[in-house]
C-alpha cells in the first residue's frame, strides 16, 4: 500500500480521454510518480512530446526549478503498455463508460500489478458492486469519481463496493489529503450522490419540453438568470449526450420513480439517433459550429412560476442528499456551490422561496 509518511506515491492512469488527460495535468502539480497508459501509439508520441515541451518551457520561464524539472521528466511515463503499471500503488481507470470494457481491463491489470495495489474506477454511474464483481481481490477495488475540471473541484466521490476494505478506504483518504481533495465517502444507495442531486431537476426540465412545450432555450435562460451560470441543456451538451444517457440509465437502479425519468431518456436517445452527441460533435441541444443563433438574442422575461418549479426539483435532490446523512448542510452548501458554481447556497435558496422538504 501507499506509504503516507513518505512521498513515494506511484500513480497509474489508464485512458487518455478528457478525464484521463485532466487527471494527468492535475497530478503534475505534486511530487508523484505518474504512469499514463493510452491506447494509441500516435497519441502517446504526441502527448510525450507536448509534456516535454511544456516542462522545458516552464523551466525557461522560471515556473518551475531545475529539481522539479528533473523529477517530473524522470518520474513521468506515457506509454501504451499496461505492464508499465507494475510498480503502482494506485491505478485510476478512466476509459469509456462500458462495464465489459472496464472488467476486461481489470482482468488484465490483475495479472500485472502487485496484490496490494488499489484499483479505482473514475466511473460516474456504474455501481462498484457490479463493476468489481469478478475481480480477484475485491477488497482493494472501489470507485474514485473526480469531477471535471479537477483543479477547480475540491472534493472527490469515493464509491465503496460492499467488499472494499476499510484499509483500502483509509489509504485512499490519505492520498486524497495529499493532493488536497476532500473525500466524500459513499456506500450502497448513496453512490454517485452529487450527480444524482441534479438528476430530478434535469429530468423535470425534459418533461417541461415534451409535455408543456416549453423550449429548452427558454428553460436554460430562466436557469441562468436565477439559479446556475450554465443552463440545464447546455450542461447535458457539455458532458456529452451519450455519456448522460448511459449514466441516467445506470442511476435508475437507485431511483424509486423511474417513469419520471423516461422522457429524459427518450429525448437523449432521439439526439443520439440523429448523430447529436453534444459539444464534442458540435451539435446537441445547441449548435456549436460557430453559426450565430438568432434565438439567443431574444429578450426573455423572467418566469417566476417556471423557475420556482425548477428550483423545487433541484432542492428535492439536495434534501434527499441531506437525508442520507453523508453530508451536513455546510458540506452540501460547499459541494453544490463548488460543482455548479452557483451564487446562492442551496439551503439559503430553500429558505428564500419557502421550500418544504418532501
Alpha carbon distances (Å) from 300 to 217, 219, 234, 236, 293: 10, 10, 17, 22, 15
Structural contact between residues 34 and 27, judged by C-beta atoms closer than 8 angstroms: yes
Q: Which helix (H) or strand (E) holds 67?
A: helix 66-74
Does 295 have pLDDT greater than 70?
no
Does 282 have pLDDT greater than 80?
yes
Mean pLDDT taken over the chain: 93
Write the DSSP string, 184-227.
EEEEGGGTTHHHHHTHHHHHHHHHHHHHH---HHHHHHHHHHHT
How many Å apart are CA 267 and CA 209, to the nearest integer?
A: 9
Does 1 have pLDDT greater than 70?
no
User: What is the pLDDT, as a whole number, of residue 290?
Assistant: 80
User: What is the pLDDT, as a whole number, of residue 3?
Assistant: 39
Alpha carbon distances (Å) from 280 to 101, 226, 242: 22, 27, 11
- Intra-chain end-to-end CA distance of the chain, in Å: 44
- Beta carbons within 10 angstroms of residue 301's beta carbon: 8
User: What is the pLDDT, as a whole number, of residue 230?
Assistant: 94
Instruction: Between 134 and 12, name the one with better pLDDT.
Output: 12
Question: Where exactly are the structural domains of the chain?
Answer: 10-191, 195-353
Structural contact between residues 34 and 71, judged by C-beta atoms closer than 8 angstroms: no
Residues 6+ apart with CB under 8 A from 113: 85, 86, 88, 91, 119
Sheet holding 90-93, edge to edge: 76-79, 33-37, 10-14, 90-93, 118-121, 141-145, 155-160, 182-187
How many Å apart are CA 345 and CA 10, to the nearest integer?
A: 38
Does 298 have pLDDT greater than 60?
no
User: What is the pLDDT, as a whole number, of residue 219?
Assistant: 97
| For range 298-315, the mean pLDDT | 88
User: What is the pLDDT, as a whole number, of residue 121?
Assistant: 98
Residues 6+ apart with CB under 8 A from 274: none
Question: Of the CATH numbers 3.20.20.70, 3.40.50.10190, 3.40.50.720, 3.40.50.2300, which one belongs to the domain with range 10-191?
Answer: 3.40.50.720
Alpha carbon distances (Å) from 269 to 118, 218, 280, 298: 36, 22, 16, 29
pLDDT band at 338; cut points 50, 70, 90: confident
153 exposure class (CB count in 10 Å sphere: 0-12, 13-18, 19+)? middle
pLDDT band at 293; cut points 50, 70, 90: low
The third-level CATH classification (topology) of the domain covering 195-353 is: 1.10.1040
How many Å apart are CA 11 and CA 33, to the nearest integer?
A: 6
In this chain, the answer to whether the domains covering 10-191 and 195-353 adopt an identical fold is: no
How many Å apart are CA 239 and CA 230, to the nearest integer?
A: 12
| For range 50-76, the mean pLDDT | 94
Cross-strand pairs, 83: none
User: What is the pLDDT, as a whole number, of residue 341?
Assistant: 86
- Beta carbons within 10 angstroms of residue 30's beta carbon: 13
Amino acid at each position: 500500500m501507499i506509504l503516507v509518511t513518505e512521498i513515494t506515491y506511484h500513480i497509474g492512469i489508464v485512458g487518455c480521454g478528457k478525464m484521463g488527460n485532466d487527471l494527468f495535468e492535475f497530478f503534475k502539480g505534486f511530487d508523484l510518480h505518474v504512469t499514463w497508459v493510452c491506447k494509441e501509439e500516435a497519441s502517446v508520441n504526441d502527448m510525450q512530446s507536448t509534456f516535454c515541451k511544456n516542462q522545458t518551457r516552464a523551466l525557461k520561464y522560471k515556473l518551475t526549478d531545475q529539481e522539479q524539472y528533473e523529477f517530473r521528466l524522470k518520474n513521468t511515463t506515457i506509454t501504451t503498455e499496461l505492464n508499465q503499471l507494475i510498480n503502482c500503488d494506485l491505478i485510476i481507470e478512466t476509459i469509456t463508460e462500458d462495464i465489459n470494457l472496464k472488467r476486461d481491463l481489470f482482468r488484465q491489470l490483475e495479472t500485472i500489478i502487485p496484490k496490494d495495489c488499489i484499483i479505482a474506477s473514475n466511473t460516474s454511474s456504474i455501481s462498484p458492486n457490479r463493476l468489481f464483481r469478478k475481480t480477484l481481490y475485491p477488497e482493494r477495488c472501489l470507485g474514485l469519481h473526480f469531477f471535471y475540471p479537477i483543479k477547480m473541484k475540491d472534493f472527490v466521490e469515493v464509491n465503496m463496493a460492499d467488499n472494499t476494505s476499510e484499509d483500502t478506504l483509509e489509504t485512499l483518504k490519505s492520498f486524497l489529503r495529499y493532493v488536497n481533495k476532500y473525500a466524500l465517502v459513499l456506500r450502497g444507495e448513496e453512490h454517485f450522490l452529487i450527480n444524482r442531486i441534479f438528476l430530478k431537476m434535469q429530468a423535470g426540465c425534459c418533461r417541461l419540453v415534451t409535455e408543456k412545450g416549453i423550449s429548452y432555450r427558454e428553460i436554460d435562460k430562466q436557469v441562468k438568470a436565477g439559479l446556475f451560470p450554465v443552463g440545464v441543456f447546455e450542461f447535458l451538451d457539455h458532458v456529452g449526450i451519450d455519456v448522460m444517457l448511459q449514466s441516467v440509465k445506470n442511476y435508475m437502479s437507485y431511483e424509486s420513480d423511474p417513469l419520471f425519468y423516461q422522457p429524459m431518456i427518450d429525448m437523449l436517445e432521439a439526439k443520439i439517433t440523429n448523430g447529436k452527441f453534444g459539444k464534442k460533435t458540435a451539435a446537441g441541444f445547441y449548435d456549436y459550429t460557430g453559426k450565430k443563433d438568432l434565438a439567443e438574442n431574444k429578450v426573455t422575461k423572467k418566469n417566476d412560476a417556471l423557475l420556482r418549479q425548477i428550483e423545487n426539483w433541484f432542492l428535492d435532490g439536495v434534501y434527499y442528499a441531506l437525508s442520507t446523512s453523508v453530508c451536513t448542510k455546510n458540506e452540501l452548501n460547499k459541494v453544490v456551490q463548488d460543482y455548479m458554481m452557483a451564487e446562492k447556497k442551496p439551503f439559503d435558496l430553500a429558505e428564500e422561496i419557502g421550500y418544504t422538504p418532501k
